[in-house]
Amino acid sequence: MQTKVTFPEAETFIARLRALRDLIERSADANEEATQLSAEVIDALERVELFKMLAPRAVGGMEAHPPQVIDALRTLSYFDGSTGWYCQAAVTGPAVAGAFLGDRAVDEIFFSGQRATCAGQAAPHGKAERVGDGYRISGSFSFGSGTPNASWIVGGYILHEKGVPVLRENGQPIMLIAMAPRSKVEFLGNWNVLGLRGTGSFDFRVLDQVIHRDFAFDAANPEQKRGGPLYGMGFMALPSLCHSSFALGCTYRALDEWAGYARGKKRMPNGTLSETETFQKELALSHARLRSAEAYVRSTFEKLFSSAGCGHIAEDLKLDLRLCASNTLAVGSQITQLALTSGATTALRNGSKIQRCFRDMQAGNAHVMTGEQSFITAGRYLAGIDPVAFPGF
């Protein structure tokens, strides 16, 4: 194993991200047309070691604490929603790989000299079968956020035996999270969407191949092999944390753009939109809702991180983990829609930052992890219908 990379202090790290604002904002329009981030933006993010932020220290990562993660991704998402979303996906992959994969996989992913980047889609759309000391995997996946520059592609695979899914005692199929080398993945190049256009979240097909068992783990029962409480928070904790951070940054940008627009928008018979009491009330309520959502996220992950360090996570915290993320995405979606409506015909024009924030938040809110089903699952738990509603944590 190589020695770990020395990382800057958190404040210096965030300052380096903030220094990229001009580049990221200048590239945002072009990224939408190209449907992926520019090489210049990716190179700048690699220079500040952003993609190592969540990886364990044992593999050269920063192993950042939740407040640092929130601040970093919130900052990037404020500059541009597509950049923030791409980064939240691209930092999660190395974290999962470094914490849960076997030594053989870690050596090849992190210490072989290639770019240690992992991304894809963890939904169980693939098929796996045991073969010797590994698995034969294949499958087709959608919305591969973070994949344009990933060396390793993440996928979710239902384990089969003799063509039939292998079931747990509770009747649920066993799902593996596995990494496939980019050379054995076919990208379909069909990212034609309304929002988050610059992320290049292409559909992809994992070609039939055999991987060593070290490149896969049980999604419902991941064995933490490296790192501290950041990974003990639960398998779903990291994407929930990262999705929340994206929503905060994108929505705060919408609020600032909305306020700026209102100061210059004339309203009859005289004055500006910002001087109307209706606007003032809606802006204040929107800030209150978003700040409350942020407080819920920060409080939840502070408790979760502490509990993981003690080795026990209460069921209520497992609920909060998903609910705080879903709430933040839902609040952001509603606020950006309000800002778009207030902007009337001006916000409809291409180039409107309010419009872009709206489109990016609607796309982010469509994600299955934080969508309607997440609220339904939480509601079943809160109503006492399903006392154990959060498997896989």
Of 373 and 167, the structure prediction assigns the larger pLDDT to 167
- Residue 77 in tokens: 């998402």
Higher pLDDT, 392 or 141: 141
> How far from 302 is each of 259, 317, 321, CA to CA, in Å?
31, 11, 11
Which whole number is the average pLDDT over 268-297? 93
Other Cβ atoms less than 10 A from the Cβ of 368: the count is 10
Using the predicted structure, report yes or no on whether residue 316 has a pLDDT greater than 90. Answer: no
Please report the pLDDT score of residue 86 as a whole number.
97
Q: How confident is the model at residue 388 (pLDDT cuts 50, 70, 90)?
A: low
pLDDT tens digits, 225-273: 999 999 999 888 999 999 999 999 999 999 999 999 999 888 767 788 9
Buried b (16+ CB within 10 A) or exposed e, 284-306: eebeebbeebbebbbebbebbbe
- Tens of pLDDT, residues 322-356: 899 999 999 999 999 999 998 777 777 777 899 99
Count other Cβ atoms within 10 Å, centred on residue 352. 17
pLDDT attached to residue 384: 87
> What average pLDDT does range 358-385 have in this prediction?
89
For residue 1, pLDDT over 70 is answered with: no
Check whether the bond before 269 is cis (ω within 30° of 0).
yes
Q: Residue 5: pLDDT above 70?
A: no
What does the H/E/C string look like for 241-290? HHHHHHHHHHHHHHHHHHHHHHHHCECCCCCEHHHCHHHHHHHHHHHHHH
The alpha carbon of 201 is separated from its chain's Cα centroid by a whole number of angstroms, namely 12
- pLDDT > 90 fraction of the chain, expressed in percent and rounded: 75
Mean pLDDT of the chain, nearest integer: 92
Between 50-54, 59-63, 115-119, 386-390, the lowest mean confidence (pLDDT) is in 386-390
Looking at residue 266, its pLDDT comes to: 83
Q: Cα torsion at 380, 300, 329, 64 (round to 10°)? A: -140
Which of 105-114, 205-214, 259-268, 306-315 has the least mean pLDDT? 259-268
Instruction: Give the mean pLDDT of 359-371.
Output: 90
Q: Is 16 exposed, middle or buried (0-12, 13-18, 19+ CB in 10 A)?
A: middle
Question: Alpha-carbon distance 109 to 327, whole Å?
Answer: 35
Higher pLDDT, 176 or 319: 176
Which pLDDT does position 232 carry in this prediction? 94
pLDDT-derived band at 4, boundaries 50, 70, 90: very low
What pLDDT is recorded for position 268? 64
Each residue's pLDDT tens digit, 10-20:
789 999 999 99
Of 293-297, 346-350, 374-378, 383-387, give the lowest mean pLDDT range: 346-350
**pLDDT at residue 2 in the model:** 39
Instruction: With a cut of 90, say whether residue 389 has pLDDT above it.
Output: no
Contacting residues for 31 by C-beta, under 8 A, at least 6 apart: 37, 38, 41, 80, 82, 83, 197, 198
Helix (H) or strand (E) holding 141: strand 134-141
Domains, the chain? 10-110 (1.10.540.10), 118-218 (2.40.110.10), 233-382 (1.20.140.10)
Rounded-to-10 torsion of CA 310, 374, 220, 224: -40
Of 204, 205, 216, nearest in space to 135 by CA: 216
Predicted confidence (pLDDT) at residue 380 exceeds the cutoff of 50? yes
120 - beta bridge partners? 154
Contact indicator for 74, 82 with CB cutoff of 8 Å: no
State the pLDDT at residue 369. 81
- The per-residue pLDDT for range 295-306, each reduced to its tens digit, is 999 999 999 999
Position 60 scores a pLDDT of 95
Dihedral sign, CA of 53, 54, 55, 60? Answer: positive
Question: What CA–CA distance (Å, rounded) separates 239 from 100?
Answer: 15
138 three-state secondary structure: strand
Alpha carbon distance 63, 172 (integer Å)? 32
pLDDT score recorded for residue 11: 82
Strand partners, 254: none
Q: Work out the average pLDDT over 175-180.
A: 96
